[in-house]
A and B are shown apart, each in its own frame.
Chain A
């Protein structure tokens, strides 16, 4: 099977760009990815583009050809939509296409423009990832759904708001040196505890912000990299995807995320790794409790133990397995359709040694990216490794 290499990565700064069009944001990320890759645009065989609420935010459907234009490429372009996992799905299909020998160069990533909408409109837009009939009409919001998970997790495994606050403080600390992060100010555990409630037991600092941004990655086949003398030291060795029932109430177990467990198992099997081989992870912490569920589904913590991982220093920058050294969705920001791509960008930079937080993981060889859609009715896991 053809190996897939990361030739180049690009991001916009994540944050508030209410006046910048989606096409301009994606063009910026793509330009940076091509500059990093030193791959000619003419060699790109397809664009896999992730976006969730573009039809609502910009009244713009059919975005993929528009983004191909913006990136300056002439190739078949397709938009992938799996809510907050849109770019993760787009990346996985790029990896599969190259592995299958159908293309040597694929541009993948995503974009979301959100801050041009008022908060109620964003809340309504994000809620579209839930079951309209049985959840949205019953008053379930996105934070509300994760709050339901948090309450049950506390009930079954123990854990407190203070444990969640440690996750928020950790991810804010990690974002401080990250030039692409939305929030670069540290917060204390006490700050998080004293913030106003959003959906009890989740408060303001348990939630990711509303963010504009874009991500882009140039993937190439190993043979293309060799033939063209492309410096691409990171390999995508595993990719997995899982799905679950859309509505939380229909899930078999409300304190686990089986879609992510399935995705991780597939990705780890393909890469031939075990959870203990993982040196660094970027996970989908749209809410602090989501990081807990994510690291348990990845096998980085036993069920019921994930809640204490940040508090006990296991997942902090100087811990055994740092999680979300980028700042995560929580502090780096969450432009939903771009997030799955940005995680690949951050893991790549961490493994290459050119991330501002690489100093915390100087010997890292195996990185994992975990991207989730909705309340994890969709999940994508990728394993990236320093090429041997």
Chain B
């Protein structure tokens, strides 16, 4: 396990427990901890707001050449999803990476169960043999969670 990262680890703990949250400034700019000020406008008053239960997949990629710490997961789907005032970056689970992309047009196969705009939930996964926990997304309706 990596050294404790104050703020970040507590945020992961909360997301893992189903209490994911974002920091929001009076101008409604969202950010993730640890933060002392709003990174967008410098406001010093940040309040905690619960993340919506579902987010929207904005973009994703099937990774075939991984970082060493993800070698056992390859291929895996890296993704960015929006959850209210923030976007999260994580690994998309519950989909078949082999059904995504590969074609010349770079589009998603009609048979794939995921695309930009797919509704997802967010959680935290502990991986076998890996030091760090990872943020994960599951398509809504996926029961492998």
User: Residues of B contacting A388 with CB < 8 Å?
Assistant: none
Chain A interface mostly helix, strand, loop or mixed? helix
CB pair A151 B64 closer than 8 Å: no
CB pair A151 B61 closer than 8 Å: yes
Which of A40-48, A91-99, A132-140 makes up part of the contact surface?
A132-140
CB pair A199 B60 closer than 8 Å: no
A160 CA / B103 CA spacing, docked (Å): 9
CB pair A154 B78 closer than 8 Å: no
Closest chain-A Cβ to B62's Cβ sits at a distance in Å of: 4
A248 CA / B88 CA spacing, docked (Å): 10
User: Residues of A contacting B58 with CB < 8 Å?
Assistant: 152, 254
User: Residues of B contacting A139 with CB < 8 Å?
Assistant: 63, 66-67, 70, 73, 76, 78, 90-91, 134
- How many residues of B sit at the interface, in one of the four size bands? 35 or more
Check A269 for interface membership: any CB of B closer than 8 A.
no
Closest chain-A Cβ to B115's Cβ sits at a distance in Å of: 9
- A138-B62 in contact given A123-B67, A201-B101, A250-B39 (Cβ < 8 Å): no
CB pair B102 A148 closer than 8 Å: no
CB pair A148 B80 closer than 8 Å: yes
CB pair B65 A133 closer than 8 Å: no
CB pair A247 B105 closer than 8 Å: no
Query: Looking at the complex, which one of A123, A134, A155, A199 makes contact with B78 (CB distance below 8 Å)?
Result: A199
Interface string of B100-141 (1 = CB under 8 A from A): 111111110000000010000000000000001111000000
Chain B interface mostly helix, strand, loop or mixed? mixed
Which of A14-22, A190-198, A311-319 makes up part of the contact surface?
A190-198
User: Residues of A contacting B91 with CB < 8 Å?
Assistant: 138-139
User: Residues of B contacting A137 with CB < 8 Å?
Assistant: 132-134
Closest chain-B Cβ to A143's Cβ sits at a distance in Å of: 7
A152 CA / B116 CA spacing, docked (Å): 8
CB pair A148 B106 closer than 8 Å: no
Check A166 for interface membership: any CB of B closer than 8 A.
no
Check A185 for interface membership: any CB of B closer than 8 A.
no
A311 CA / B60 CA spacing, docked (Å): 25
Check B16 for interface membership: any CB of A closer than 8 A.
no
Check A336 for interface membership: any CB of B closer than 8 A.
no
CB pair A197 B102 closer than 8 Å: yes
Query: Looking at the complex, which one of B39, B66, B100, B104 makes contact with A162 (CB distance below 8 Å)?
Result: B104
Check A249 for interface membership: any CB of B closer than 8 A.
yes
CB pair A200 B64 closer than 8 Å: yes
CB pair A248 B80 closer than 8 Å: yes
CB pair B80 A249 closer than 8 Å: yes
- A193-B68 in contact given A137-B132, A248-B80 (Cβ < 8 Å): no
5 closest Cβ contacts across the A-B interface?
A: A147-B61, A201-B106, A249-B87, A200-B101, A200-B62
Chain B contacts to A: CB under 8 angstroms: 5, 8, 31-32, 39, 58-71, 73, 76, 78-80, 86-91, 100-107, 116, 132-135
